[in-house]
Amino acid sequence: MLRRAFCNDQKDQKQIPEPEPARAATVETRDTQTDARAREGDEHMDRYTERSAAAAGGTGELNALLGKGSEFDGKLAFEGTVRIDGTFTGEITTSDTLIIGESAKVNAEVSCGTIVVHGEVNGNIKASQAVELHKPARVKGDVSTPSLMVERGVVFEGRSKMEDLEDKIVPMRTVSGGEAD
């Protein structure tokens, strides 16, 4: 759009462009390297969550999240997969999958199907399927599970007890001459 600028003399009229009206601008000030690292971390955790939940017989889909910076004190019982990245104090019970993120601080007695720990857990863990401790996890307490995986760099202070699998072995009958004993 053009507007006219008048000088003292009407003959010296000039046409100058009119400035565009001010618009609200959205400015992104995010660091692209930080975004890329966050996306890589999210993708890694998504793959990891799916793999861990699948190992526990789940779908890999998170049912709940206690996010970083949040605090919870009490009893937690759930089905499916739950991830904790905040602070939790109390008792956790599930037959499914619990994921403890790197920023998590959990002070609880845990009874679960599978637990995957990247953060800090103070308390005893009883898992009916598996316990996975990934760097930089810190666990102080006893662990009871049929399957325990501890990655190099993890700090584990406590006792571990593997379920006695001998009770579950069914003796085989021998076959002689084509007939079973």
Q: Is 86 within a domain?
A: yes
Count how many domains the chain has.
1
Angle at 96 between CA 50 and CA 132, to 5 degrees: 65
| pLDDT number for residue 178 | 56
Backbone angles phi, psi at 28, to 5 degrees: -95, 125
pLDDT single digits (tens) 49-105: 444 444 444 456 888 999 999 999 999 999 999 999 999 999 999 999 999 999 999
pLDDT tens per residue, range 103-122: 999 999 999 999 999 999 99
pLDDT computed for residue 16 by the predictor: 54
- Does residue 150 form part of some domain? yes
Prediction pTM value:
0.61
| 169-179 pLDDT tens trace | 455 566 665 55
Q: Is 45 inside any structural domain?
A: yes
From residue 58, alpha-carbon distances to 90, 94, 97, 106, 170 in Å are 24, 12, 8, 23, 28
For residue 47 the two structure tokens come to 């793959």
Share of the chain above pLDDT 90, in %: 54
Q: Which residue has the tokens 């072995």?
A: 169
In a domain, 100, yes or no: yes
Structure tokens at 163: 């379920």
Query: Is 119 contained in some domain?
Result: yes
Residue 118 is assigned to a structural domain of this protein = yes
- Please choose, from the candidates 139, 140, 143, the residue with its C-alpha nearest in 3D space to the C-alpha of residue 126: 143
**Residues of the domain holding 108:** 37-156
- The answer to whether residue 24 is domain-embedded is no
Please indicate, yes or no, if residue 12 is contained in any of the structural domains.
Answer: no
